[in-house]
Amino acid sequence: MTTSDRLTIVDGALALDGGTILLDVVDRAGAVHQIVLAQNVTPKIELELLPGRLHFDGKPVGVRSTEEASLLNRLKNSDVQLCEELSDDVSDDSNASLSPVIVLGEDLKAWHAKTPGGRLRMLVDTIVERVEAEAYVLFAEKVALAADSTKYTVWPDPDPTTRNRAILQLSRVQKAGVSTARTFLDSGEPLARDISAVAAVEIIETWRAEGLAVRVEPPLKTRAAE
């Protein structure tokens, strides 16, 4: 991808899979490319596209990479020209049929109020807005967790100043008395054994919300675990 190329948006689509947006674009040399922002409804990887991720010509763009920043800048400064309005300088191999635009839900009213060119610009703006949001980074992490086949074990890890709060937290989680929770903490038994990365992060976040630490083995490298 040549980052200095100005892009012209020629067609686009919003899929029915939970929000995948597809854009067909032409660069200054007349070559056609496809930009896709995959659905962010489920982090489960079932298709070739990474859920929630921005792709250029079928390849995922690194999260918060220089390539991502460049592509977003090109989209912000792109032109919109419907495919039937294109001049003859577009490459001959660009005649593939382009996807129809389908929009459902809350965006429907706004969609129909726009011109065809305005609809394409709406798709472009939506991609930029979604990718620049913090939720984009968090969802990318969820996708990585969902693909992680490692099994993790989680222990409570209070220090002397948080021990009593950890006992109360155990009492709530286990629906047991304080004495039982204290005995469990002193036993050194884990909160959960051989669980998925997603489940481990849920425990981490639950305990962190109470100001309490846990220990995970093997170490889990996510922002939640830091």
Could you list the mean pLDDT of each consecutive 10-residue stretch along the chain, which spans 226 residues? Answer: 74 82 92 91 70 94 96 95 55 39 52 73 94 93 88 96 96 94 96 94 94 95 61
Show the tokens assigned to 27. 């660069």
Distance separating alpha carbons of residues 166 and 180, to the nearest angstrom: 12
Q: Are 34 and 24 in contact (CB under 8 A)?
A: yes
- pLDDT given at position 63: 94
- pLDDT given at position 214: 96
DSSP code for 34: E
Q: Are 156 and 167 in contact (CB under 8 A)?
A: no
- pLDDT given at position 92: 39
Distance separating alpha carbons of residues 70 and 73, to the nearest angstrom: 5
- DSSP sequence for 143-185: HHHHT----EEEEE---TTTHHHHHHHHHHHHT--HHHHHHHH
- pLDDT given at position 78: 95
Domain annotation for the chain: domains and CATH numbers: 8-144 (no CATH), 148-217 (3.30.1390.10)
**Threshold 0.85, pTM exceeds:** no
Phi then psi for 79, rounded to 5 degrees? Answer: -100, 160
- pLDDT given at position 100: 45
Q: Are 179 and 121 in contact (CB under 8 A)?
A: no
Torsion of CA 41, 44, 49, 52, to 10 degrees: 40
Q: At what angle do helices 66-76 and 116-132 cross, to 10 degrees?
A: 150
Its sign, for the CA torsion 201, 202, 204, 205, is positive
Through-space distance between the first and last CA atoms of the chain, rounded to whole angstroms: 34
Show the tokens assigned to 62. 């690194």
- pLDDT given at position 107: 57
- pLDDT given at position 15: 80
Looking up tokens 């610009």, which residue turns up? 121
For the chain, where are the alpha helices, taking DSSP H only? 66-76, 107-112, 116-132, 134-146, 163-174, 178-187, 197-209
- pLDDT given at position 115: 74
